[in-house]
Chain A
């Protein structure tokens, strides 16, 4: 199935009353190795039935989503993960130094069916994210600023034949072409993708992650080995003395 670029005019024709927006996308907390991305939607206009609602994240190399953790949120969404590599590796390991992507197929909560033009129906989606260890720095502020771009939301709908076109082409806005390339399943199930815009307040979020100090290498290496060796000698001495005391005790008993 091929796909064609879709002009804004065309997809507005399909659902002219749809004024759904992403109200906000935030990270909380904004420091540390564990955070949660919360995206708030306002769904406005007649709900396009048989359409599915999706949320797409591009994750920088230093952030990852744990698929086993996300699997426990199946009441809110199912997901596909692209890339991500070894969950346990630091960002500078070959297995983990590339961006990844996360595509959610969201389950709209019950009660968010009737969408009126007024206040809209608002609901949130939470995605737990984790940070990898970053490259140690030499001096300066020992923090990495990991930038998470706002997610992209869209409807995936069966095509309406109003235009009279006999072609069966997936209609994709420019902003969603990369997603379609990445997720072939979208091509198979849907015929039209409708981008959901976000308000101006939706900005990229930054997670500040501490990193090690490369200047500590010499002290840490030497200190660790010295302490380990001293503890080793101390315990060997203690055990040898105890062993000698045991031999004396055994000899006395035999006598």
Chain B
């Protein structure tokens, strides 16, 4: 069959077609189109729906927003002057009202508009990744110099690398080579079944990943005002991108230092002053002001129309939420067994040890310290921001008190961008991938037995949550250790 194809298509044309970005974008778009059309047919003919429940939540919220009435009106100070409904009348809608407005064509045009929008965000994210790889990442990536028995997995970025030769010197990469490699790496994202499934099922994560990618794009270009504004917008959309602000401030501060004194200060006090100067100087203050200002302006605008329900559902709810239902995080079982209003735990009264364990600070501090400190200590240059943001996001997700499959997308989007800087053998890569997927498959198999077969195996499911934390931490550590500066 290969020979038959070769008769009609020249090999180098075929390779060029395969690794050129345009065919990849077209193919990725077609897959998503087909799946969205299929989802409409599937949902009409099957009780088990293809479409995510969240999509129905967004769509209902949009309906509420666009059809105000006596019992459905925006509750902000300006809400009475604007004829607009309240998306928070929809139970479990915990997003910014801007999402409900963005999906207005769901009501005006077609109910699947949102899915097309989210899939379009996927494609745009792919284009942005390609630009980053071609212009910023690959030009500074060096070919690995190892022996053939430990051929690095980053051959994906260097398919023609002569890794068998110990004398292979690091060489610059030609423009064509860069584009081919960038396309292969972007394909990891655009053709990833998880990414495709999340968007075509109607989850809105791709909007946020696009915002985060654009923030990163601006940061790597050194467009700090734009970075600050995009960071404010991303944080308004979902709170977790605020952690990237720390690394941005760190990089701006480092660059400010490099522009200033070259010599190391002597004495403790001068060093302390210099350390403070890294974080508090005109540029970092400007960055923080623009970022916080954007967040506050957006928040104030939305609050003025939709009032306290916006603040509570979008932000405050996440501070106090108790996710007792099973999810990847092992915290779920602890929350379920110690849920407020269970008379047994209330009557017993927690000891100091128990109070410490159950304190939200205990879980929150580990998550906060890791996700912020990795942004402060790991990132020294602009180029390292990609890896830094990956580590920050991965630790945030692993140590979060709730975790569903969509959360993995938050850090998976960085993978095509960090692979060129990873020096990792094929066997290690396969092990990491197997561990990453295997821990999820293990958990899902037990969760299915609890939820759909009604088996009382909550303890076993908790053990699977523990294995998930251990396994994903190990994988993350392996990726960190294989990073080449």
Contact = CB atoms under 8 A, between A and B. Distances in A.
Contacts of B358: 221
B481 A238 contact: yes
B483 interface: yes
Nearest to A236: B370
Contact of B330 (A136, A208, A224, A239): A224
Contact of A221 (B334, B398, B457): B334
Contacts of B366: 228-229, 232
B122 interface: no
Interface residues of A, number: 55
B480 A210 contact: no
Interface string B334-374: 10111111101100000000100110001100100110011
Interface residues of B, number: 61
A242 B481 CA distance: 7
B146 to A, nearest CB: 17
B154 interface: no
Interface class of chain B by DSSP? helix
A32 interface: yes
A250 interface: yes
Interface string A180-216: 0000000000000000000000000000111111101
A7 interface: no
Interface in B304-346: 324-325, 330-331, 333-334, 336-342, 344-345
Contacts of A142: 456, 458
A178 to B, nearest CB: 26
Contacts, number: 161
Interface string A219-255: 0111111011101101110111111011101100000
Contacts of B469: 227-228, 231
A239 B378 contact: yes
A216 B401 CA distance: 19
A90 interface: yes
B395 interface: yes
B453 A31 contact: yes
A29 interface: yes
Nearest to A243: B377
Contacts of A224: 330-331, 333-334, 357, 462, 466
B60 A212 contact: no
Nearest to A228: B366
Contact of A214 (B337, B369, B370, B451): B337
B337 A238 contact: no
A210 B334 contact: no
A95 to B, nearest CB: 10
4 closest cross-chain pairs (CB), A and B: A31-B454, A142-B456, A32-B454, A210-B456
21 contacts: A29-B452, A33-B452, A68-B90, A72-B56, A88-B92, A93-B341, A94-B341, A210-B450, A210-B458, A216-B462, A221-B357, A227-B466, A227-B470, A232-B366, A235-B477, A236-B370, A238-B476, A242-B378, A242-B483, A243-B377, A250-B381
